[in-house]
Chain A
Amino acid sequence: MQAFFQRLLALDRRWVFLLVLLSVTIPIVIPIGLPVTTTSSTRSAFEFIEALEPGDIVWLSFDYGPSSAPENDPMAEAFLRQCLLKKVRVIVSAFYPLGGLDLANQVVAKVTAEYPDAKYGVDYINLGYKDGAAAVMRTLGQDITSSFPTDVNGRPLSEFPIMQGIRTVRQIDLVFTVATGLIGEWWITQVHSQFGTPVIIGPTAVSAPKYYAFLNSGQLVGMLGGMKGAAEYEKLLAAKHASFRKFYGETVGFTATKGMDGQTVLHGVILGLIFLGNLAFFLTRGNRAGGA
């Protein structure tokens, strides 16, 4: 036993690397489905969106970059799926400078492929990327076309039925911002506080704590905090709609639920390693003292 612990203390770190790799890979390939308890901020976001009627119009903004995609992608995908299923119309934009547009294009292409009935320009539209988020948001209260004269492919917005009668962000029923940094906060401070449009945010786990203040003050309808929040959301979707139960149960694609499995297992593995390390340290302490 002593010898085992001695060896554990001098463990080649490549064994640790292998453990890390396995504990993240396995849940992606074979979902485990660990229990997730839903929190009130996610539930209020879900219920607000569930209460929207067919024909209502929402704004989905991609305000994050590739480095937080595993946390943020599932939020944007779940929201888009829910809207398309409920026939809520969606306007998509991107404000994150480095790669926000790429992610918007990918997510929109992926999710709309699952809903062949949804028509571009009628049920959803992609406005593309715009530089200078804070300034652009201020103009959305007067005239959307002043900042977004065309869609992502350069066609004038007036050509699209979805934009008929939509002039300002005041007419939008909900903004959902999937965000890493400051841009999400601007939707609250620039758009909600000036034009009154309800806002739901999907921040990364690191920036989630600062949004609790906005939740408490009622400036946010709801929040999906990090990958955990996204996993909660997937759980709520699956509980409500049979089609989502099937989809999230069977998809080979990435979901926040799978990511959360990996996160939890890896945190457990690291804590287990730390525990074993300390155990070995204490059990072999006598030896070391004698040896020295």
Chain B
Amino acid sequence: MQMDLIGTWLAAFLTLAAFSFLYKDNPFFRFTESLFAGVSLGYYVGIVLNQTLLPNLFIPMAQDFKTNWDLLVPGLLGLMLYMRSAPRIGWISRYALAIYVAYYIGVDFTRRIHGEVMPQIARTIRPLQAFDGPTLVSLIFIVGVYSVLIYFFFSKEQNAVTRPIARLGTWFLMISFGAAFGFTVMGRVALLIGRLNFLILDWIYPTIGR
């Protein structure tokens, strides 16, 4: 119970100190920001150790080395990363970085073509065969996608045909940005309400006995 009370007061102090940055930079904020940086880094030490390295590396090797002997390799690659700080053999760290980057970029390549380009183009292939509301909406959608795509042509100077289309594309972009901005406000206010609830209902009211 005592620990809970200390925790609430500590959290309240840190919350206020973090909000004080909105007024101006000050020693309380500076203390809080430094503490946050340190604690958060320490937090990820705990997380990486307990949730990445223990279950993926140490426990599998200790329990069943015959199946998982190959995990010595990522351990080795991980150690290669540290060679970076050695003065003359820093280039060894390139191996680990190169494998890491290239593997995920390969994953990304297929994901982009297979999972993004083709499905998004497929979304625009809609029948336009009637003069009614839904057809008009489909047409707006198609024009929107294609005009934005034309805006992204780089290797040709825009001409009398493409310039107005690209301009239309930027208008679609602006609608999108404005709407997405307005749409997000609500969720962000909810976050602020959450913090004020904590300060008012969990800290101030119990303290003043309301």
Contact = CB atoms under 8 A, between A and B. Distances in A.
A151 interface: no
B196 A24 contact: yes
Interface in A1-57: 14, 17, 20, 24-25, 28-29
Nearest to B19: A21
A205 B197 contact: no
Given A66-B194, A67-B194, A252-B210, A263 B200 contact: no
B193 A28 contact: yes
B22 interface: yes
Nearest to A69: B194
A28 B186 contact: no
Chain B interface residue bracket vs A: 10 to 19
Nearest to A67: B191
Contacts of B205: 252
B187 A24 contact: no
Interface in B102-122: none
A25 B210 CA distance: 17
A25 B200 contact: yes
Interface in A236-271: 252-254, 259, 262-263, 266-267, 270
Contacts of A267: 185-186, 189
Contact of A206 (B187, B189, B191, B196): B187
B3 interface: no
A24 B194 contact: no
B137 interface: no
A106 to B, nearest CB: 10
B200 A226 contact: no
Interface string B134-176: 0000000000000000000000000000000000000000000
Contacts of A252: 201, 205, 210
Q: Is the interface of A mostly helix, strand, loop or mixed?
A: helix
A150 interface: no
A247 to B, nearest CB: 15
B201 A24 contact: no
Contacts of B201: 28, 252-254
Nearest to B23: A14
A259 B186 CA distance: 11
B192 interface: yes
Given A14-B22, A252-B201, A254-B201, A226 B186 contact: yes
B187 A205 contact: yes
Contacts of A205: 186-187, 190
Contacts of A197: none
Given A206-B187, A263-B186, A267-B185, A70 B200 contact: no
A67 B194 CA distance: 8
Contacts of A28: 193, 196-197, 200-201
Contacts of A25: 196, 200
A22 B187 CA distance: 18
B23 A70 contact: no
A254 B197 contact: yes
Interface in A186-241: 204-206, 226-227
A270 B178 CA distance: 14
Contacts of B22: 14, 17
A12 to B, nearest CB: 11
Closest 4 CB pairs of A and B: A70-B193, A70-B194, A70-B190, A254-B197
16 contacts: A24-B189, A25-B196, A28-B200, A68-B190, A70-B190, A70-B193, A70-B194, A70-B197, A204-B190, A227-B190, A254-B193, A254-B197, A259-B190, A262-B193, A263-B186, A266-B189
Interface of B: 22-23, 183, 185-187, 189-194, 196-197, 200-201, 205, 210
Interface of A: 14, 17, 20, 24-25, 28-29, 66-71, 204-206, 226-227, 252-254, 259, 262-263, 266-267, 270
